[in-house]
Amino acid sequence: MKKILIAGLSVILVAATTFTAQSQQKVKVTVKTKVENRDDDGGWSNFGGNHVPGTWSAYIEDDRVNIMFTGEDWNTGRMFSLAELGTLPTGNEGTFKITRDAGTVTFKGLFAGGKGNGFYTFAEDAGFKSYLVQKGYSGLDKQLMLAVFFTDINKGYFEYLKANGYANVSNENFKDLAEQDLNRRVFADYFGLFKTESWGHPSLGKVIELREHGVNARFVNSFSRNGI
């Protein structure tokens, strides 16, 4: 049974890789395309280089805010709850912050008509960084710490993984989890998919690989709808 499950995952990954390669030949992938294809809170696009200070633009949709972050040579979109942003500046330029275990993003700008723009800076949390070092993680530059912030990796995150059978997270996997935005909501979707498809308990590396290729419940269901 285990071999069958692994074979099934491999077929899905091959199909996803082929689909991605064909798509990239036809059209240049943008952040908007990633968000639409992955059906989640956002995706990375050319993340690297200097990232603070940077610019931001946003729009409010019901109780959520979609924020596009742009650096010197990268950009990425993320979705936040409106409550997490606190009081937003309207009419006149002002500031607001998002604080998580990994650090604080401070925004300067204004909102009007449900849309906003301005500049932002990121300050990592030294205490949480020390906690990650104590857990054995290295290479924690500001670029990675910002990814940790976006993914909302905190102490509870590791407890969540442990409770779901992933007690040991290597340094390489930790970096991938952050950069692939494998937050708890995304993991919950995968756990539901694994249960529905009887895939058992894939390794953490396999989950990361699925995420990297955009394989999620919607993608797998598309195979079923087409009789595959």
pLDDT tens per residue across span 4-14: 444 455 545 54
CA distances for 191 relative to 65, 187, 195, 201, 204, angstroms: 26, 6, 6, 9, 12
Percent of the chain with pLDDT over 70: 72
Percent of the chain with pLDDT over 90: 61
Q: 55-95: per-residue pLDDT in tens?
A: 999 999 999 999 999 987 788 999 999 999 999 999 899 99
With 0.85 as the threshold, say if the pTM is over it: no
Residue with the two structure tokens 């639409």: 36
Q: Which of 64, 61, 95 lies closest to 80, judged by CA?
A: 64
Distance CA 178, CA 11 (A): 26
93-145 pLDDT, tens digit per residue, is 999 999 999 999 999 999 999 999 999 999 999 999 999 999 999 999 998 99
Q: What is the mean pLDDT of the chain?
A: 80
pLDDT band, very low/low/confident/very high, at 197 (cuts 50, 70, 90) = confident
* Structure confidence at residue 31 as a pLDDT band (50, 70, 90): very low
For range 44-53, the mean pLDDT: 49
Query: Residue 154 pLDDT more than 70?
Result: yes
Q: What is the pLDDT of residue 84?
A: 95
